């Protein structure tokens, strides 16, 4: 679980980057467009280099321990993973600033929820420590 918690830090850094780009000076259209494009490229790269594998690890642990986890926690985490996949690297109908804000807000809340709710539940399952990535 420690490795997953450490990876959460980089996602929180991505959230800050996304939030800053989305809130870039609206009076300077070019600077804002450049900042948003760069932020989306960073988020997509982060998805491919870390987040996709991170989600796979978490989802594997959820499958292992699902019988002892709060079903609402499982439903929430999996739904957020699905939305974050789209926000990070999928086709998305949101305009760029809204997409960046949604990514920032969701990944921040998601990390906090996993750390405070899901991970303690996972850690109490005897098989998870053996399967820890």
Residue 9 zone, left/alpha/beta (φ > 0; ψ -120 to 50; rest):
alpha
pTM for the structure as a whole:
0.90
Q: What is the pLDDT of residue 31?
A: 85
Q: What is the DSSP letter of 70?
A: -
What's the pLDDT tens digit per position in 32-79? 889 999 999 999 999 999 999 999 999 999 999 999 999 999 999 999
Residue 2 Cα distances to 6, 86, 92, angstroms: 6, 26, 32
What's the pLDDT tens digit per position in 90-118? 899 999 999 999 999 999 999 999 999 99
Q: What is the pLDDT of residue 129?
A: 64
Q: Which residues contact 89 (CB under 8 A, 6 or more apart)?
A: 43, 44, 47, 48, 52
Q: What is the pLDDT of residue 49?
A: 95
For the segment 18-45, the average pLDDT, to the nearest whole number, is 88
């Amino acid at each position: 679980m420690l490795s997953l918690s450490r990876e959460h830090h980089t996602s929180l850094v991505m959230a800050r980057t996304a939030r800053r780009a989305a809130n870039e000076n609206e009076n300077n259209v070019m600077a804002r467009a450049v900042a948003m494009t760069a932020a989306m490229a960073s988020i997509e790269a982060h998805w491919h280099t870390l987040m996709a594998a991170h989600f796979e690890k978490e989802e594997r642990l959820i499958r292992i321990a699902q019988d002892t986890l709060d079903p609402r926690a499982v439903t929430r985490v999996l739904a957020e993973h699905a939305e974050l996949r789209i926000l990070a690297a999928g086709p998305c109908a949101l305009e760029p600033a809204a997409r960046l804000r949604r990514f920032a807000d969701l990944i921040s809340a998601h990390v906090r929820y996993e750390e405070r709710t899901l991970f303690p539940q996972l850690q109490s399952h005897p098989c998870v420590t053996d399967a820890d990535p």
